[in-house]
Structure 1
């Protein structure tokens, strides 16, 4: 397995993996994948990576800005998704460490995640990497007509702060 910068050529696999999360029904609020142009605009160009096995994307991680105000330029939101056929192989851990290291080198001081409380495996992964739960937004969004809670997690850089 190798980690590479996520480029447009990887996006079909990235979208395929994201569609798996959408289909699972309890991982993301999205109901469909975005076209490349929208996805590319929403995610920081230097903070997006893929895990490749035999030139096939088996996982991806990316950061996006939380707010556009200048003072928040070092605060980001994390997206991390692993192909359902590759869960439990440590790919999430490798991608998480890579994005943390890369983000600190780029001067990012906070990574946030918004995770459904039911997604216990994702919350556990985040906690292993120093994320703490800030709280829960109760019934903050709807997914297919159902009000969903969101756990807010945050990791503050120990190098920058």
Structure 2
């Protein structure tokens, strides 16, 4: 897979493709409560620059991305992030998510991150399996944490499974 799929740092020039993949995830109804992709300015201001990666295929087409903000501005939570990983519809099931998440974990540990967390809809079985394969554990279920505002799910309350992966970079494990 590494021979045909590569990861690299995300740039502003990647935004149209990243936004398109984000929109595909939103359309599934099982990726996020967001009803639209943010603008580049919103995305850029909210994500840690060194922890934004994209995956490209052998033709150089962008087929996935991963990024994360800090979970809090409070110093006590420095080193705790909540990430999102999205794979283009046409590339799902091909290992892109595994490559992105593996490289993201490596980059986050190099940056001193000791906990990566995420909230995943219970119906998103592929994401739950992906995260479990990379050492994430289920911490709990946040029941009726948010109400969908779009599509056939509009008005429905949804649960999230909260997952985390702890690293020993700060001697915390």
Q: TM-score, normalised by structure 2?
A: 0.90
The 8 Å contact of residues 76 and 112 in structure 1, kept in 2 or not, is answered as yes
**1:34 maps onto 2:45 in alignment:** no
Taking the aligned partners of 2:6 and 2:13, their CA distance within structure 1 comes to 16
Between the aligned partners of 1:26 and 1:108, the Cα distance in structure 2 is 27
Aligned with residue 124 of structure 1, among 113, 121, 129? 129
Structure 1 Cα separation of the partners of residues 29 and 142 of structure 2: 19
Determine whether 1:9 maps to 2:19: no
Within the candidate set 161, 169, 173, 1:151 is matched to 161
**Alignment root-mean-square deviation, CA:** 0.9
Select 2:26's aligned residue among 18, 22, 26.
22
Match of 2:101 in 1: 96
Deviation string 1:46-96 (CA, Å, 9 cap, x unpaired) is 000000122221000111111111111100001100000001111111001
CA contact (8 A) 2:71 2:80 kept: yes
Native 8 Å contact 1:104 1:160 kept in 2: no
Q: Secondary structure at the match of 1:94?
A: helix
Gaps of 5+ in 1: none
1: CA distance, partners of 2:129 / 2:63: 20
Which structure features the higher share of strand residues? 1
Indicate if the aligned counterparts of 2:112 and 2:169 stay in contact, CA closer than 8 A: no
In structure 2, the partner of 1:77 is 82
Runs of 4+ with >3 A deviation? none
Out of 73, 82, 91, the position equivalent to 1:86 is 91
